[in-house]
Chains A and B, each alone.
Chain A
Amino acid sequence: MTATTMFPLPIAIPLAVAAFIALSGKLLGRRFSDALAIATAAANLWMTISILRATWLQPQTYWFGNWWPRAHDVALGICFTVDSVGASLAVLASLLTTAGLLFSWEIFEDTENHFQPLMLIFMAAMCGFSYTGDLFNLFVFFELMSVAAFALCGLKTLEPAPLQGAYNFGLVNTVGAFMIVMGIGLLYARTGALNFAQVGRSLGSSSDALVLLAFLLISVGYMVKAAIVPFHFWLADAHAVSPSPVCVLFSGVMVELGIYAVARVYWTMFQGGLAAHTRELRAILLVMAAITAIVGALMCYAEHHLKRLLAFSTIAHAGLMLAGVGLLAPKALGGFSLYVLSHGVVKGGLFLCAGIVLHRLRKIGEDHLHGEGKGMWWTAGLFLLGAWGLAGAPPFGTLLGESMISDSAKEFHQAWLPYIFMFAEIVTAGAVFRATFRIFFGWGELAPTDRSSQIEEKPETDEEEENVPAVMFVPAAVLILLGIALSAVPNLRSTAEAGAQLFTNQFTYAQAVLQNVEPAAPALTAPEPLTSSIVRSCIALALALLLALGSLFHKRIGGWLKFTHSLELGNPILRKAHSGHPGDYVAWLSFGTALLGGMFVWFLRR
């Protein structure tokens, strides 16, 4: 069996198993369904890793039903085109699903809620999303992923908060999905094709109003999933109420896939047409990225609901990732892929830790948990390590991703970007440090309260237990330690850059898909020294600790350091904007789309 024939398996097998469990879960019982789901996810992890090894710096295409392009290199069939970037995202999705399913061994007492089948469908859709080489197929997997996600988010239907979170999530993302369909329709009307390579070839270098509108609609649609400000409002509501293993998938990989999709459609289809306006497009995307990072970080620090705090930190980091894509350069994109992987495991681990807190202490609000976690030193250690990773300090893989994006930013004379990174890292890591010191060490003043932290989440496990079960602790620890292990992979940065070079080359991509010409493997370049990034991240780590301590002891230190406390109280205007009203969110979505469209018309027209 060659590697390409394996491509559909990580999608087909979990879907089949999901159907099987959904049908016969009651007969099989809870434990058997669990074991089967975990085994399937682990098998998927193994398959996606084999696919990653097979496509390492040599993208390969699988044509469904053997419909490979015959005459005149016209693609009529549907294909999976797997390259290093897509393949590693599928590995991440499978890894996090496996961890989430293991974690869920102890939670949810019944199989009525279809938790395991939904997780498997979610995983299959994410793998398909990262593998596909077809525009409409991308949308179908997007929707499959969304529907599974909406259902998983609203799993605890006995409380109003999960319903609100899941409904807002569903409605806003669905409006985004309609925009994607519109964009795909426009592109199909122009080119008569749906294959990325084919559409890209047909569009050539045209960048008229229709192409710009299609680019606008498609990228906004995916940016809704990627939680880019002002399309991000649903994310915090959905994360705050989802079961912890589901949050792992949402924050660890689903959001990142939205950014990946923007990168994919840009480099395979619109790159040629927008080539003359790269500078303007870069500026627009970087400004969005910076705003996202700042808003996410500020809201993150002002939250005291542990999961919602982590959710806003994901928004801040999504801004950093968008910067990796928005620099529109292979090196930055390589940094993006490294950052996604390392952030995904660290954030996944942190969400599992939040799940452990909910399991052991039965509450999730920082203000209710002051000093309650004393004695849970191992979990506290994981939280501290996770915050360390969010700060992007060595030895975490986040450092490597951040350094590549920052180096690339300097090449494009965007020297301000690393400071935005630092800001987001300081504030998000500081928030996790602050929560850890309060909950597990009982330091400092009581946390000020906010409305969301008053929502007491119903614990996911039935009775209180004195210890943390291994199935909960081990996945969390493994994920966070993987964030460190990642940076030990040899030649990681040069390989990521080489993979990104293949990703960004529209010409060789189209040749590989349509004419089966294998692209020459790019030469590995020596990575730049890490010194300045290490210095920056160590400063960030120190400042994050100081920020956390400042908020904890604001009454004792006084003076200008009081600002740490007002940072914790949050900006009232920003808070008010996150109103929890789905209509408001869609209004923001429309406003953002109109604004972005206006900027496109202004800056990207010839």
Chain B
Amino acid sequence: MLNYLTYIVAAWIFLWGLYGIVTSKNLVHQVVCAAVLQTSTYVLLLGIGFKVGGTAPIFADIPVGTSVVDPLVQALMLTDIVVEATVMALLLSMVVKSNEVAGTVDPEELRVLTG
């Protein structure tokens, strides 16, 4: 059950993040919803790499054959975090600019290009 639970939680967060982005009326809120959506990828990667009873994958001082957690997933997640932190910062800076230039953070009011 624990195995499936992480996947269910990941999907749950993913869908709420999507819902938040779609219904958001404030650009800052919308970017934060995207960040929420992103955490679902962390949960998924955690669920993939974790092993019940596994220890840290440092092979210097543990006997051969010890059960360890997957060492690769942390690298994936770290890359994911770094990359998406950049994107979030960039999006938020655009929101700041939009407040300066257009005087609004409502996606409804920022619409200049349509049709």
| Residue pair B102, A582 in contact (C-beta under 8 Å) | no
| Residue pair A171, B112 in contact (C-beta under 8 Å) | no
| Residue pair A160, B101 in contact (C-beta under 8 Å) | yes
| Residue pair A158, B113 in contact (C-beta under 8 Å) | no
| Residue pair A174, B86 in contact (C-beta under 8 Å) | no
Q: How far is the CA of A184 from the CA of B34 in the complex (A)?
A: 19
Contact digits for B74-115, partner A, Cβ 8 Å, 1 yes 0 no: 001001100110110011001101100110000110111111
Select which of A159, A170, A581 is within 8 A of B107 by beta carbon.
A581
In the complex, identify which listed stretch (A146-154, A390-398, A414-422) lies at the interface while the others stay far away: A146-154
Select which of B40, B79, B91 is within 8 A of A136 by beta carbon.
B79
Contact digits for A204-237, partner B, Cβ 8 Å, 1 yes 0 no: 0000000000000000000000000000000011
| Residue pair A150, B112 in contact (C-beta under 8 Å) | no
Contact digits for A165-193, partner B, Cβ 8 Å, 1 yes 0 no: 11100110011011001101110110000
Contacting residues, chain B, for A452 (C-beta < 8 A)? 113-115
Residue from A159, A178, A580 having most chain B Cβ neighbours under 10 A:
A178
| Residue pair B95, A167 in contact (C-beta under 8 Å) | yes
| Residue pair A578, B21 in contact (C-beta under 8 Å) | no
Contacting residues, chain B, for A171 (C-beta < 8 A)? 21, 30-31, 34, 91
| Residue pair B84, A581 in contact (C-beta under 8 Å) | no
Interface residues on B, range: 35 or more
Task: Given A143-B83, A174-B34, A175-B37, decide whether A579 and B94 contact each other with a Cβ distance below 8 A.
Answer: no
Task: Given A163-B101, A586-B21, decide whether A580 and B114 contact each other with a Cβ distance below 8 A.
Answer: yes
Q: Which residue of B lies closest to A165 (CB)?
A: B113
Contacting residues, chain B, for A350 (C-beta < 8 A)? none
| Residue pair B48, A188 in contact (C-beta under 8 Å) | yes
| Residue pair A583, B95 in contact (C-beta under 8 Å) | no
Contacting residues, chain B, for A587 (C-beta < 8 A)? 22
| Residue pair A147, B45 in contact (C-beta under 8 Å) | no
| Residue pair B90, A163 in contact (C-beta under 8 Å) | no
Contacting residues, chain A, for B48 (C-beta < 8 A)? 185, 188-189
Contacting residues, chain B, for A578 (C-beta < 8 A)? 114-115
Q: Which residue of B lies closest to A572 (CB)?
A: B115
Q: Which residue of B lies closest to A163 (CB)?
A: B98
Q: Which residue of A lies closest to B110 (CB)?
A: A164
- Residues B20-61 near A (CB distance < 8 A): 21-24, 27, 30-31, 34, 37-38, 40-41, 44-45, 48
Q: How far is the CA of A587 from the CA of B113 in the complex (A)?
A: 18
Asked if A576 is at the interface of the complex by the 8 Å CB criterion, the answer is yes
Contacting residues, chain B, for A164 (C-beta < 8 A)? 98, 110-113
Task: Given A174-B34, A583-B21, decide whether A181 and B90 contact each other with a Cβ distance below 8 A.
Answer: no
Task: Given A143-B83, A455-B112, A583-B30, decide whether A178 and B102 contact each other with a Cβ distance below 8 A.
Answer: no
Q: How many of A's residues come within 8 Å of B, CB to CB? A: 56
Contacting residues, chain B, for A144 (C-beta < 8 A)? 83
- Residues A554-606 near B (CB distance < 8 A): 570, 575-576, 578-584, 586-587, 590
Select which of A165, A170, A581 is within 8 A of B91 by beta carbon.
A170
Q: How far is the CA of A302 from the CA of B112 in the complex (A)?
A: 17
Task: Given A175-B37, A590-B22, decide whether A580 and B87 contact each other with a Cβ distance below 8 A.
Answer: no
Asked if A72 is at the interface of the complex by the 8 Å CB criterion, the answer is no
| Residue pair A143, B114 in contact (C-beta under 8 Å) | no
Contacting residues, chain A, for B24 (C-beta < 8 A)? 583
| Residue pair B34, A160 in contact (C-beta under 8 Å) | no
Contacting residues, chain A, for B10 (C-beta < 8 A)? 182
Residue from B76, B87, B95, B114 having most chain A Cβ neighbours under 10 A:
B114
Contact digits for A442-470, partner B, Cβ 8 Å, 1 yes 0 no: 00000000111001000000000000000
| Residue pair B41, A181 in contact (C-beta under 8 Å) | yes
| Residue pair A167, B91 in contact (C-beta under 8 Å) | yes
Q: How far is the CA of A30 from the CA of B32 in the complex (A)?
A: 37
| Residue pair A451, B114 in contact (C-beta under 8 Å) | yes
| Residue pair A170, B113 in contact (C-beta under 8 Å) | no
Q: How far is the CA of A158 from the CA of B40 in the complex (A)?
A: 35
Asked if B68 is at the interface of the complex by the 8 Å CB criterion, the answer is no
Task: Given A455-B113, A583-B107, A587-B22, decide whether A174 and B41 contact each other with a Cβ distance below 8 A.
Answer: no
Contacting residues, chain A, for B22 (C-beta < 8 A)? 583-584, 586-587, 590
Q: How far is the CA of A157 from the CA of B98 in the complex (A)?
A: 8
Task: Given A143-B83, A163-B101, A171-B34, decide whether A580 and B90 contact each other with a Cβ distance below 8 A.
Answer: no
Q: Closest CB-CB distance, B11 to chain A, in whole Å?
A: 9
Select which of B30, B37, B90, B108 is within 8 A of A150 by beta carbon.
B90
Contacting residues, chain B, for A584 (C-beta < 8 A)? 22
Q: Closest CB-CB distance, B99 to chain A, in whole Å?
A: 10
| Residue pair B115, A570 in contact (C-beta under 8 Å) | yes
Residues of A within 8 A of B (CB): 136, 140, 143-144, 146-147, 150-151, 154, 157-161, 163-167, 170-171, 174-175, 177-178, 181-182, 184-186, 188-189, 194, 236-237, 240-241, 302, 308, 450-452, 455, 570, 575-576, 578-584, 586-587, 590
For the complex with contacts A163-B97, A164-B111, A451-B115, 17 further pairs of A-B residues with Cβ separation under 8 Å are: A140-B83, A157-B101, A163-B94, A171-B30, A177-B84, A178-B37, A182-B41, A182-B44, A185-B76, A188-B76, A450-B115, A581-B111, A582-B107, A583-B23, A583-B24, A586-B18, A590-B18
Q: Could you list 14 A-B pairs, sorted by A, with CB under 8 Å?
A: A140-B79, A147-B90, A160-B102, A160-B112, A170-B87, A177-B87, A185-B44, A188-B73, A451-B115, A579-B114, A582-B30, A583-B23, A583-B30, A586-B18
Residues of B within 8 A of A (CB): 10, 14, 18, 21-24, 27, 30-31, 34, 37-38, 40-41, 44-45, 48, 72-73, 76, 79-80, 83-84, 86-87, 90-91, 94-95, 97-98, 101-102, 107-108, 110-115
Nearest 3 pairs between A and B by C-beta? A575-B115, A580-B111, A160-B102
